[in-house]
Structure 1
Amino acid sequence: MSDDPKEKDDSIDATHLQVWLERALHGFQGPLTIKKFEGGQSNPTYLLRTPRRKYVLRSQPPGEIVGGAHAVHREYRAMHALDGQIVPVPKVRILCEDPAIIGRNFYVMDFVDGDILWQPDLPDVRPENRPKYFDAMNRTLADLHNVDPAAVGLNDFGRAENYLSRQIHRWSRQYRADERAGRIERMDRMADWLAANTPDSTGVSIVHGDFRINNLMFKHDRPEVAAVLDWELSTIGDPVTDFAFHLMMYRVPSGIQGGGLKGLNLSALNLPSETDYILAYCERTGRTSIPDLQFHIAFNLFRFAAIIHGIKGRALRGTASSAKAHEVASALDIYVNLAWDETRLAGMQ
């Protein structure tokens, strides 16, 4: 985690938290200072600094919580289970579900030093090194999907059956539940079509749910993943759905909020093509092809639009975790239209 918090945050009582951590977390010793990291639209993240070491605290946002969102306990459990496995994760230290401590659920993990690369075209990476970063991303996600959930105690982390159907229902419900952000005709139509045309599952694995480049911590100036971050949406499900979310970077235009690679000259940038990237993942996971990939991509763009719809709702309610929430929410129409186009490619009339 890059040691670059930008905003002082006064919503957490440092003295109260310090007293609790000194009692609950072995080896913790103050005095404690707290600063909030920039970015992140869901669960706010804070740097905890003591004279001896640094930690990171991740919490639910303050205020009203919609449905089952902001499940920090799931993040904690996933990272705890994967500690010491082939997939690199921060070491989690303690989970607190007592609202008396800071007013909301949170967990504390070790600070991981490294680089977060925010744009998939890797403008700050030398061209000759860019394929190595993409290969590291691809390998890390394939490694996650190759982990046996039962072997790490996550066999009950989610229901494997009908995963995609349940995901479509979940995100449709979450979108429709946020009345403050309003209803969108195209979102309603996509929700209905996706639910009526869901393909069968092709496998079961641990899924991250939000695997993109800015949720990876790379080692300083090296194409090696130091840690996979932001496990809020992790569960047991179809790895194709998870990979399709990651693959969205090839379908989203550059130059927009959360932009991707569409419209760029990948060869000139020395970046792998979508086809080559898919083939590398297939080779690593023992597949010869990925059936219904277009449907999974369409669903994931619908889901991403639903997430931005939720950010818009939080911004309107004043509970968004980032000052940039209104900027992110302004991209909602763009992502609804992208999801619409990809759903048409999947067969919607």
Structure 2
Amino acid sequence: MVSPAVPLFARPHLASVDKDAPSESWIEYLRRRYPTESELDRVLNRRQRNRATSRYTPPTLDTLTTAVTAILSDRLDEPFTVSDGRWLSGGASKLQMAFTLDWVAPGTGRTRTPLVLRMEPAESMVETSRLREFQVIKAFQGMVPVPPVYWLDAQAEHLPYPGLVYGMVAGSTKPSAASVGVSGLGTNLGPQLRGPLAQQMVRHLAAIHTFDFTNADLDAFDRPELGTQSVEWAVNWWSRAWDEDCGEDIPLMRLAAHWLRTNMPPVERLSIVHGDFRTGNYLFTEHDRKVTAILDWELARIGDRHQDLAWIAAPAFGHLAEDGATFLASGLLPTDQLYADYERISGLSVDPQRLHYYRVFNAFSIAVLALGTGYRIAGGAKTHQDITVAWLIGIGSSMLHEIHQLLETGA
């Protein structure tokens, strides 16, 4: 459904739309049709306007080391050296380089600190804001385990693309004995790790959702009112991404977007939503079975906690227990136990109807990434992870099947 603010005659003729080199009229049409948060609007506009010219060119470690040195030269008064630059593997979204900084740290004196540069490619599997990611991680320092954040190059003044620098944290995203694969997609933690990690992750999720963000420095996040405003912003975000990126019209995606818009549940309590809270996006140390850092906050927003609760229990991120019958949400614990423990720890209720809504919303967003954005950036040579992204496109069909089941059965 086209927003009443955008008359049908204002819509560019679809046959004339070149999504690999979008016109200003197409960009402005999508902005008016799908209004969302200002910082998200900015990064989506930037992506569209750079699409025709900005192909991904693999930077060298020397190039990134020089860029990081330029960032720090603007921010540090004492002499420093950047050394031992090396690539970090994992993830389908951002490019990451580890390095060591020899510097005079505030309150510590001269020290050697292991750090990570997290930077976008020309276009990411999910286009997000490094400023928002920086701010939300900083807001949660001391509240839940997160890597310390240090510096930000939000406008790519020094880096090839926007990026941030954060501290290296000990730990892994999967057991050392696990088979090679994408962490978080059915990762089997095993009985020894499962229980302790599950207890911590439920506690951390409750802490995120009950965090009082009103006085936090989060000016890159628009503050929605109670009701459906935050839901509408989110639906618009993913609907706009679909229209920007999809290579073919899929009627089920249109149906899902319409259903999401006409069934928006009012939010009675606003929370910080992580947006990708699951196994694979936290680090843990095996010897003491301790969660050391919650990662990948790029999708964080202010909204309904049920989005995270539905996400962590999504079929794609879990697997069956050793009995062959019990589904383990995110490979951690049975879904019913997850929600019961969450209610007990957080003091917040879990509403089955809102869970259902966000199951549809989450499946829709994954389908957008797989069948829209993944297709567009892999085909357009926009990412350093083109092979991984092309592989992830295969998830799209299972997401369409999940959307169909959810809409048909209502459960």
* Range class of TM-score, shorter chain: 0.7 to 0.9
Deviation at 1:53, TM superposition (A): 3.0
Specify whether residues 124 and 166 from structure 1 end up closer, same or farther in structure 2 by C-alpha distance, changes over 3 A only. Answer: closer
Q: Distance in 1 between matches of 2:327 and 2:234?
A: 37
Counterpart of 1:287 (choices 348, 360, 381) is 348
Give the residue type in structure 2 aligned to 1:164. Answer: V
Structure 1 residue 58 corresponds to structure 2 residue 118: yes
Counterpart of 1:191 (choices 257, 265, 272) is 257
Per the alignment, residue 275 of structure 1 pairs with 336
Give the residue type in structure 1 aligned to 2:80. Answer: Q
Give the residue type in structure 2 aligned to 1:93. Answer: Y
Deviation at 1:77, TM superposition (A): 0.8
Once the two structures are overlaid, the 10-residue window that deviates more, 51-60 or 200-209, is: 51-60
Q: Does structure 1 retain, via aligned residues, the 8 Å contact 2:189–2:332?
A: no
Deviation at 1:324, TM superposition (A): 1.2
Per the alignment, residue 133 of structure 2 pairs with 75
Specify whether residues 123 and 186 from structure 1 end up closer, same or farther in structure 2 by C-alpha distance, changes over 3 A only. Answer: same
Deviation at 1:236, TM superposition (A): 1.1
Deviation at 1:75, TM superposition (A): 0.5
* Larger Cα-atom Rg: 2
1:2-37 deviation line (CA, Å, top 9, x unaligned)? xxxxxx962760452253144135467324243332
Q: Distance in 1 between matches of 2:185 and 2:321?
A: 13
User: TM-score, normalized by length of structure 2?
Assistant: 0.72
Q: Distance in 2 between matches of 1:119 and 1:291?
A: 24
Structure 1 residue 234 corresponds to structure 2 residue 291: no
Give the residue type in structure 2 aligned to 1:272. Answer: L
Specify whether residues 72 and 15 from structure 1 end up closer, same or farther in structure 2 by C-alpha distance, changes over 3 A only. Answer: closer
Matched residue SS, 1:152: coil
Equivalent residue runs for 1:77-96 within 5 Å: 77-84=135-142, 86-96=143-153
Structure 1 residue 210 corresponds to structure 2 residue 276: yes
Equivalent residue runs for 1:1-349 within 5 Å: 10=60, 13-26=63-76, 29-50=80-101, 52-62=112-122, 64=123, 69-84=127-142, 86-117=143-174, 118-119=183-184, 123-125=188-190, 127-154=191-218, 157-161=221-225, 162-179=229-246, 181-248=247-314, 251-252=315-316, 259-261=317-319, 265=324, 267=326, 272-292=333-353, 293-309=355-371, 310-322=373-385, 323-346=387-410
Deviation at 1:242, TM superposition (A): 2.2
Per the alignment, residue 26 of structure 2 pairs with none
Specify whether residues 18 and 297 from structure 1 end up closer, same or farther in structure 2 by C-alpha distance, changes over 3 A only. Answer: closer
Q: Distance in 2 between matches of 1:329 and 1:75?
A: 25
Specify whether residues 135 and 122 from structure 1 end up closer, same or farther in structure 2 by C-alpha distance, changes over 3 A only. Answer: farther
Once the two structures are overlaid, the 10-residue window that deviates more, 306-315 or 269-278, is: 269-278
1:201-228 deviation line (CA, Å, top 9, x unaligned)? 2321111111111111113433322111
Specify whether residues 298 and 277 from structure 1 end up closer, same or farther in structure 2 by C-alpha distance, changes over 3 A only. Answer: same
Deviation at 1:233, TM superposition (A): 1.0
Once the two structures are overlaid, the 10-residue window that deviates more, 293-302 or 336-345, is: 336-345
Per the alignment, residue 5 of structure 1 pairs with none
1:231-250 deviation line (CA, Å, top 9, x unaligned)? 111121111122211221xx
Q: Distance in 1 between matches of 2:156 and 2:219?
A: 29
Give the residue type in structure 1 aligned to 2:361. Answer: F
Q: Does structure 1 retain, via aligned residues, the 8 Å contact 2:197–2:332?
A: no
Deviation at 1:262, TM superposition (A): 5.9
Specify whether residues 10 and 277 from structure 1 end up closer, same or farther in structure 2 by C-alpha distance, changes over 3 A only. Answer: same
Give the residue type in structure 2 aligned to 1:136. Answer: Q
Q: Distance in 2 between matches of 1:289 and 1:46?
A: 39
Q: Does structure 2 retain, via aligned residues, the 8 Å contact 1:206–1:234?
A: yes
Q: Distance in 1 between matches of 2:79 and 2:403?
A: 46
Deviation at 1:271, TM superposition (A): 5.4
1:69-94 deviation line (CA, Å, top 9, x unaligned)? 2311110011112222x211111111
Q: Does structure 2 retain, via aligned residues, the 8 Å contact 1:121–1:271?
A: no
Q: Does structure 1 retain, via aligned residues, the 8 Å contact 2:271–2:303?
A: yes
Matched residue SS, 1:99: coil
Q: Distance in 2 between matches of 1:305 and 1:268?
A: 22
1:104-133 deviation line (CA, Å, top 9, x unaligned)? 2111011111121224765354x1431221
Which structure 1 residue ranges, 5 or more long, are not aligned? Answer: 1-7, 253-258
Specify whether residues 329 and 156 from structure 1 end up closer, same or farther in structure 2 by C-alpha distance, changes over 3 A only. Answer: closer
Give the residue type in structure 2 aligned to 1:231. Answer: W
Q: Does structure 1 retain, via aligned residues, the 8 Å contact 2:149–2:166?
A: yes
1:115-153 deviation line (CA, Å, top 9, x unaligned)? 21224765354x143122122111111110010011433
Specify whether residues 268 and 211 from structure 1 end up closer, same or farther in structure 2 by C-alpha distance, changes over 3 A only. Answer: closer
User: Aligned-pair RMSD on alpha carbons?
Assistant: 2.8
1:280-331 deviation line (CA, Å, top 9, x unaligned)? 1111221344141111111111111112231222111111232411111122
1:176-224 deviation line (CA, Å, top 9, x unaligned)? 1114x33322111111111112222232111111111111111343332
Percent of pairs with identical residues: 24
How many residues are treated as equivalent by the alignment? 327
Give the residue type in structure 1 aligned to 2:69. Answer: V
User: TM-score, normalized by length of structure 1?
Assistant: 0.83
Q: Distance in 2 between matches of 1:297 and 1:338?
A: 9
Q: Distance in 2 between matches of 1:272 and 1:13?
A: 44
Specify whether residues 178 and 280 from structure 1 end up closer, same or farther in structure 2 by C-alpha distance, changes over 3 A only. Answer: same
Q: Does structure 2 retain, via aligned residues, the 8 Å contact 1:114–1:226?
A: yes
